[in-house]
Amino acid sequence: MYATGYHRASSVEEAVKLKGQHDEGRYLSGGMTLIATMKQRLAAPTDLVDLRHIADLHGISVDGRNVRIGAATPHAEVAGSSALRAICPAICDLAGKIGDPHVRHMGTIGGSIANNDPAADYPAAMLGLGATIITDRRWLSADDFFAGLFETALEEGEMVTGVTFEAPEKAGYAKFANPASRYALAGVFVARRADGVRVAVAGAGADGVFRHSGMEEALAASWSPDAVAGAAVDARDMLTDMHANGEYRANLVKVMAKRAVIAAG
Amino acid sequence: MGVEGIGARVTRKEDKRFLTGKGRYTDDMSVPGMKHAFFVRSPHAHARIRSIDVSAAKAMPGVIDVLDGKQLQADGIGNLICGWMIHSKDGSPMKMGAWRPLAHEVVRYVGDAVAIVVADSSAEARDAAEAVVVDYEELPAVTESLVALEAGAPQLHPEAPGNLIFDWQIGDPDATDQAIASAAHVTEIEIHNNRLSPNPMEPRATLGIYDTGDDHYTCYTTSQNPHVARLVMSAFYNVAPENKLRVIAPDVGGGFGSKIYIYPEEIVCLWASRKTGVPVKWVSDRTEAFLTDAHGRDHVSKVKMAFDADHRIIGLKVDTIANLGAYMSLFSSCVPTYLYATLLSGQYAIPAIHANVRTVYTNTVPVDAYRGAGRPEATYLLERTMETAARELGLSPAELRRKNFIRSFPHQTPVIMNYDAGDYEASLDAAMEAVDWKGFSARRAEAETRGKKRGIGMSCYIEACGLAPSAAVGSLGAGVGLWESAEVRVNAVGTIEVLTGSHSHGQGHETTFAQVVADRLGVSIDSVNIVHGDTDKVQMGMGTYGSRSGAVGMSAVVKALDKVEAKAKKIAAHLMEADESDIVIENGELKVAGTDKTVPWFQVALAAYTAHNLPSGMEPGLKETAFYDPANFTFPAGCYIAEVEIDPETGKTEIIQFVAADDFGNIINPLIVEGQVHGGLAQGIGQALLEDVKYDRETGQLLTASYMDYAMPRADDLPFFKLSHQNTPCPGNPLGVKGCGEAGAIGSPPALMNAITDAIGDNSLTMPATPMKVWQALQTAH
């Protein structure tokens, strides 16, 4: 790691101001990817503005079926929230299987979605739930927010402050983990809502997290595990690396979709 | 045995220190004025160095100095060597290319050290290393052994034309060919043994301290054998004479073989300390460990096994190509030869064996011994072949093995080894019973109803441990003897220090060695301290590897105890006015047998040191040294059975059961033995299912240089193991022990691969059986 300045913000305003003072600075919200990258000297921000200690960014609020999760809420808190589990257990189960206990107590939902690692789990949940991403400037639909591998709609200095969504009728997540990193080789989040079915895929797509319209239509027509069997997943649209080629990932997408529907019940 | 003696399940004395963070590792060592090193390493797999410009780096903040290989060579520091001479079958010696501690002419793998930066902090050293400008002329690289042998392949060393290091053979080629020609059935198979990274929890580290006042060097290092490190650094690398070089291997967090060898870093840090006048510490990071720690395995073999009409093996022919990487590491040559081909008879009576082994240079990190070292390669080859043969012959795997088991001992194999004792069927029976082999078909049918594929597979392994009879290994090319030493030092108050040449880096010697003493003298293990790992404290010793510390290291302790006991009895007899032959030791007292006369142990010790009333002519003191050279190897053996269930939709393998039935001879501490087996199994299962070092074929870049890409086994990858022991005491050493450190890693890979190939019906699957490979095999099969 190169020498780096560390700043602990206590409010969103202070964080934005601090970030504005350092052109080559980065927000830090758990650092589960950023710190590891910096230790390998692959990233070299001059300054880090830590968001984890901003009280306003913490916590989960549930109002009826409406959910809001603060950006600095760690995965373990989402996994352990009984209020959330009562209306949307799928997101609790997803959060409980991110990384290991250390990661789940340091990593945050805001950090995860702002980084948009193609193999991360939360982007699939946000896209599958049709969530809204709240920043210090605006509200963005998940469909508009995620923009490719490690790319989001966030502008320079813009900061995720939370996410909000309405709990779906049913939802489920299934992932197949990379044997080495335990990131998703394929993770599929399915949700049935009054306005339709959403299927979002993490880990597998060559352009990052994506929705699969074929499976959405199939499940809208018939909400059953077997419904996705006929959907086409094109291996050419998949990531290929030494851990899994496109054919294998395409297969995993279908198998995980089926299992996500089973998990959703 | 007593509550703390031989055979007792004593918890480890050293664990309090380790579990409370009070261990003292090399990186914990800090001395006044100490500075930090970072190594400039080659980013290329193969390149000529045109020039090295350190001027900008030297001007960086905090930098003490930047040193390169030309300076090292000018100061007379020697090249790294391989300490085991192998001759090719044409009689020519192995072709050893120069391995410079700091390369200044050619780099031959990604990570090859080029220069050392010494600075106030490791961060400053690392910053300055980026400012060292090395002008490389890139050369074509080759990473795979088979490709390296092809005509026109990139050439690594002028000393080794065609990249061939040696072309060696063992056994009788003509008899084996005749057996194959006359066979009723010949099983042929190609075997790949995947390349592994050892990954001890503690990465390598070293601290070099040069004392100008005494012209003396101290080297703290993560070593499994500090005395050998001192010997080699002194005799071959000209660092310093032995009496001017102290090597200390303090607490060491695992080695698995990778810390046997001498690497460039400890040599260079000692030299750099003299050049700069400051103590120099280097600590590897994890990616550096992947890049520069010696790897293991990497064999490709062709096998022919011949059977007569009665299914008895009549011949075995093996042609192996072993990748040794860019340079010959310290023991690299003996691993694919005398630690491998000498075990190709396995547990079977095979009248004719011939093995040919070619070793090859490639642009990869050197390959050397890794837990099991040659014996896992032999076992995997043999047991995959036996399984294949059983399938081809329509026999049950157990039946084919029973038919061919060696049943009388001693047994001379056609490949040097003379097995002293064993009962292979006992382990096979115990393992089959424990796994409920008979119930497998019902379990398979039940799994089928859930859409899952079950398979079962066994592996009957044997290994040669207790390395090793010195004259024997000397005749085979070893540059050192493989005896062990011990000093038992009884203090004046009766407490005891045992100084051993063995080195504990996870094996629990502080407990088990104390148990041996406690058992003999009736004292508590808390009154016995084990001292190891410091050449200034401990007499010359050979270190720990090859499951040798029990069979060889403890035997040396027993020999020293014999002398201590004899002298103590003489003193006790004198004090009690009895005959020396009537003295017995019981519960910490020396007694005159058949009387109520006793003298406590501590009083005997005190008498030895006060010397007020000793037998006439006896020297004061109670301290004895012994060197033990084993007469033979030991031969642990056993049977492992894996039952797996495969999810055909994803290709993922779940281990339903894993049974290990081992014969380790007598056992000093069952708790520690079970821990050793568990750890070995985890590594063997890692090899079979997860671990695979991959280099880019074109560029020679290491693709698996972190845990993001190199899959280490984790707790949830492993089942609860079912262990049992069927012990036949080893006749070759006083404790009857055989060694248990490597068995798990040796026996488990073929059991798993036999089970997986049984489940999916595709015998061509190679390790590791990753979910994708299994899934692909299923797509092809159906």
According to the model, what pLDDT value does residue B587 have?
86
| Residue boundaries of the structural domains of chain A | 5-49, 59-166, 170-264
Local structure of residue B162 (DSSP, 8 states): G
According to the model, what pLDDT value does residue B545 have?
93
Residues A9-34 pLDDT 10s: 999 999 999 999 999 999 999 999 99
For residues B123 and B283, what is the distance between their CA atoms, to the nearest angstrom?
A: 12
pLDDT at A161 over 80: yes
The answer to whether A5-49 and A59-166 have equal CATH topology is no
Confidence of residue B3 (pLDDT cuts 50, 70, 90): confident
Confidence of residue B2 (pLDDT cuts 50, 70, 90): low
Facing A180 at nearest CB: one of B287, B709, B775? B709
Give the chain B residue nearest A255 (alpha carbons): B649
CB B101 within 8 A of CB B264: yes
pLDDT at B1 over 60: no
According to the model, what pLDDT value does residue B124 have?
97
Query: Is the CB of residue B710 less than 8 Å away from at least one CB of chain A?
Result: yes
Flag whether the ipTM exceeds 0.90: yes
Region B48-53: what's the mean pLDDT? Answer: 98
For residues A238 and B120, what is the distance between their CA atoms, to the nearest angstrom?
A: 48
Token pair in block for residue B218? 């101290």
CATH class of B31-139+201-254+259-292: alpha beta
Query: Is the CB of residue A186 less than 8 Å away from at least one CB of chain B?
Result: no
Kindly give the interhelix angle for B771-781 and B743-760, rounded to the nearest 10 degrees: 30
CB B289 within 8 A of CB B204: yes
**Segments of chain B assigned to CATH 3.90.1170.50:** 31-139+201-254+259-292
- In angstroms, what separates the C-alpha of B710 from chain A's closest C-alpha? 6
According to the model, what pLDDT value does residue B781 have?
72
Region B622-637: what's the mean pLDDT? Answer: 97
Region A108-133: what's the mean pLDDT? Answer: 97
**Alpha-carbon distances of A137 from A141, B37, B734, rounded to whole Å:** 13, 47, 79
Query: Is the CB of residue B122 less than 8 Å away from at least one CB of chain A?
Result: no
Give the chain A residue nearest B648 (alpha carbons): A255
Query: Is the CB of residue B84 less than 8 Å away from at least one CB of chain A?
Result: no
Region B351-356: what's the mean pLDDT? Answer: 98
- In angstroms, what separates the C-alpha of A249 from chain B's closest C-alpha? 9
B565-598 burial by CB neighbour count: b if 16+ within 10 A, else e?
bebbbbbbbbbbebeeebbebeebbbbbeeeebb
Residues 503-532 of B with CB under 8 A from A: none
Token pair in block for residue A56? 């306003």
CATH hierarchy code of domain A170-264: 3.30.390.50
- Return the residue matching tokens 């299934």: A174
- Picking from B733, B614, B172, B177, the residue whose alpha carbon sits closest to that of residue B415 is B172
Residues of chain A positioned with their CB less than 8 A from the CB of B708: 180-181, 183
For residues B369 and B420, what is the distance between their CA atoms, to the nearest angstrom?
A: 25
The answer to whether A180 contacts B711, with C-beta atoms less than 8 Å apart, is yes
Facing A179 at nearest CB: one of B287, B690, B775? B690
Region B691-710: what's the mean pLDDT? Answer: 97
Residues B260-275 pLDDT 10s: 999 999 999 999 999 9
Residues A63-72 pLDDT 10s: 999 999 999 9
CATH hierarchy code of domain A59-166: 3.30.465.10
Facing A255 at nearest CB: one of B649, B707, B711? B649
Strands (E), B185-254: 185-196, 205-211, 216-221, 245-248
Residues 31-70 of A with CB under 8 A from B: 40-41
This prediction's pTM: 0.97
Residues B729-762 pLDDT 10s: 999 999 999 999 999 999 999 999 999 999 999 9
According to the model, what pLDDT value does residue B782 have?
59
Confidence of residue B167 (pLDDT cuts 50, 70, 90): very high
Residues of chain A positioned with their CB less than 8 A from the CB of B652: 176
Query: Is the CB of residue B649 less than 8 Å away from at least one CB of chain A?
Result: yes
**Alpha-carbon distances of B632 from B129, B411, B732, rounded to whole Å:** 50, 13, 7
Region B66-72: what's the mean pLDDT? Answer: 98
Kindly give the interhelix angle for B375-393 and B397-404, rounded to the nearest 10 degrees: 110
**Alpha-carbon distances of B293 from A202, A218, B699, rounded to whole Å:** 35, 52, 20
Query: Is the CB of residue B709 less than 8 Å away from at least one CB of chain A?
Result: yes
**Segments of chain B assigned to CATH 3.30.365.10:** 381-463+633-781, 483-628
CB A263 within 8 A of CB A93: yes
Residue A213 CB coordination number (10 Å): 11
CB B104 within 8 A of CB B73: yes
B415-442 burial by CB neighbour count: b if 16+ within 10 A, else e?
bbbebbbbbbbbbbbbbbebbebeebee
The answer to whether A2 contacts B711, with C-beta atoms less than 8 Å apart, is no
Strand order of the β-sheet with A5-8 is: A5-8, A47-50, A25-28
Mean confidence (pLDDT) of chain A:
97
Region B451-475: what's the mean pLDDT? Answer: 96
Query: Is the CB of residue B780 less than 8 Å away from at least one CB of chain A?
Result: no
Region B494-501: what's the mean pLDDT? Answer: 97
**Percent composition of chain B: helix, strand, coil (DSSP 3-state, to 5):** 30, 25, 40
Residue B715 CB coordination number (10 Å): 6
Domain B483-628 CATH assignment equals 3.50.50.60: no
Residues B296-344 pLDDT 10s: 999 999 999 999 999 999 999 999 999 999 999 999 999 999 999 999 9
According to the model, what pLDDT value does residue B778 have?
97
- In angstroms, what separates the C-alpha of B436 from chain A's closest C-alpha? 30
- Return the residue matching tokens 């039935």: B661
CATH hierarchy code of domain A5-49: 3.30.43.10
CATH hierarchy code of domain B381-463+633-781: 3.30.365.10
Residues A206-257 pLDDT 10s: 999 999 999 999 999 999 999 998 899 999 999 999 999 999 999 999 999 9
- In angstroms, what separates the C-alpha of B712 from chain A's closest C-alpha? 7
Region B671-693: what's the mean pLDDT? Answer: 98
Residues of chain A positioned with their CB less than 8 A from the CB of B770: 179, 243
Strands (E), B475-622: 484-490, 496-500, 528-531, 583-586, 589-592, 598-600
